[in-house]
Structure 1
Amino acid sequence: MGELFTPTHLIVIAVVVLVLFGGKKLPELGKGLGEGLRGFKDGMKGVTDDVNKPGDSAHAVTPKPEETVK
């Protein structure tokens, strides 16, 4: 069946992307993609940091004083 991404396939994909977006749009597209991936990575790091806090139980919920039921 062959390999999925041979050098020929990658060249064809690069040519199609260049034709669709043009040479001037590619740097903007790459910058936006990089910023999006960086934001996603930072967001995932924040989630794992919150989950892995030492001494903090993930199941314990302490209500704030204004949220108590009378």
Structure 2
Amino acid sequence: MPFNIGVPGLILILIIALIIFGPSKLPEIGRAFGNTLKEFKSATKDLVSSDDSETKDKKE
């Protein structure tokens, strides 16, 4: 589900996040979000690679 937010929408979201969390918490939130995305990408890659290996094993 791609969302067409655009640059003005991203700026608005950043301003709202700055108001809610303050400038000291934003780096921590960004770091946590980045780590979450990295773990999700790794888990997805492992899932796809294991699915591919199972498919190859069934063909042989």
TM above 0.5, one fold? yes
User: Where has structure 1 moved over 6 Å in runs of 4 or more?
Assistant: none
The residue matched to 1:24 in structure 2 has which SS? coil
How many Å apart are 1:48 and its aligned residue? Answer: 0.5
Higher RCO (CA-CA < 8 Å; seq separation 6+): 2
* TM norm structure 2: 0.73
Q: How many residues align?
A: 54
Unpaired runs of 5+ residues, structure 2, are: none
Considering only aligned residues, what root-mean-square deviation do their CA atoms show, in Å?
Answer: 1.9
Unpaired runs of 5+ residues, structure 1, are: 58-70
* TM norm structure 1: 0.64
Higher helix proportion? 2
